[in-house]
């Protein structure tokens, strides 16, 4: 096992340990939070169904503030999160199919040659099969006859990622993160906020930008070995995830559940 394999293993370990510590803190906070009486909903308010409540929980803050305050940031967030959802589904499918094929006794191939090798079980090659699932050898191994359809479908992810990240980078470079550039509502028609620059967001955006470039180079078949650079950048992203603002991904299900209950009880507009 080489230095690169150790780095990949360390990055995954740091990610799991960081998320585990946040889970422990979240459970402790739930235990220490005193129970409060449930709010009494307005009996005159119309009942809201499950689907509508979930949609409102996801899009309410986005539509009420971001979409009105800063259109460039809004377009970037929408496109970027569409790319994240697409990527997450692809990685989840790849991980599941990898487990199924290993369970059936199939040998792991090398991500470049597609042939079983003694190094195929190294962490870098396993991560390359998952993060580089659009590579010909990885796609054929994971998706079989459907590998071409999978690669074509994931082209949408690249389009969303490029558009979204460019909009977000443009907003950051112009120091307009959190800026209010347009009217939010009639009551705040004259409210404006200059915004700010965030080094943390810029580091993450630059890392994502490099991951996108590696993906483009791989898809254009310009340099096959770029898949390992892609793996290195993805592993770095995983290591940063629990210790940066990216941790909001971990808390999203919690926020969604709480938002659902507030809107279900009709105590949130």
Predicted pLDDT at 15: 93
CA distance 151 to 231: 18
Give me the half-sphere count of Cα atoms (radius 13 Å) on the Cβ side of residue 129: 31
pLDDT digits (tens, 9 = 90+) for 163-179: 999 999 999 999 888 88
Answer yes or no: is pLDDT of 228 > 70: yes
Backbone angles phi, psi at 49, to 5 degrees: -75, 170
What is the band of 93 on the pLDDT scale with cuts at 50, 70, 90? Answer: very high
Q: Tell me the pLDDT of the chain averaged across its residues.
A: 84
Q: Which two tokens stand for residue 200?
A: 């943390």
By three-state DSSP, how is residue 139 classified? helix
pLDDT digits (tens, 9 = 90+) for 126-168: 999 999 888 888 899 999 888 889 988 888 888 999 999 999 9
Predicted pLDDT at 14: 94
Q: Which two tokens stand for residue 90?
A: 């692809």
CA distance 164 to 7: 29
If we measure between CA atoms, which residue out of 211, 200, 197 comes closest to residue 241?
200
DSSP 189-223: TT--B--B--HHHHHHHHHHHHHHHHHHHHHTTS-
pLDDT digits (tens, 9 = 90+) for 8-58: 999 999 999 999 998 888 888 777 766 656 666 666 666 666 777 777 777
């Amino acid at each position: 096992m080489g230095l690169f394999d150790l780095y990949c293993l360390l990055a995954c370990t740091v990610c799991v340990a960081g998320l585990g510590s946040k889970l422990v803190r979240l459970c402790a906070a739930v235990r220490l939070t005193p129970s409060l009486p449930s709010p009494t909903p307005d009996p005159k308010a119309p009942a809201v169904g499950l689907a509508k409540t979930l949609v409102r929980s996801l899009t309410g803050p986005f539509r009420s503030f971001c979409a009105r305050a800063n259109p460039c940031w809004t377009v970037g967030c929408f496109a970027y999160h569409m790319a994240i959802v697409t990527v997450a589904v692809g990685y989840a499918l790849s991980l599941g199919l990898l487990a199924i094929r290993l369970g059936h006794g199939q040998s792991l191939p090398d991500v470049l040659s597609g042939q079983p090798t003694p190094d195929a079980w190294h962490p870098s090659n396993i991560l390359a099969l998952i993060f580089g699932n659009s590579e010909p050898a990885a796609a054929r191994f994971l998706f079989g006859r459907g590998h071409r359809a999978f690669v074509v479908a994931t082209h949408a992810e690249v389009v969303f990622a490029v558009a979204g990240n460019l909009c977000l980078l443009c907003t950051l470079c112009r120091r307009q993160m959190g800026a209010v550039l347009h009217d939010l509502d009639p009551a705040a028609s004259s409210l404006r906020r200059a915004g700010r620059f965030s080094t943390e967001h810029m580091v993450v955006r630059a890392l994502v930008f490099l991951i996108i470039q590696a993906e483009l180079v791989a898809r254009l078949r310009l340099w096959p070995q770029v898949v390992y650079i892609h793996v290195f950048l993805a592993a770095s992203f995983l290591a940063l995830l629990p210790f940066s603002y990216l941790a909001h991904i971990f808390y999203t299900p919690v926020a969604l559940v709480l938002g659902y209950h507030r809107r279900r009880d009709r105590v949130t507009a």
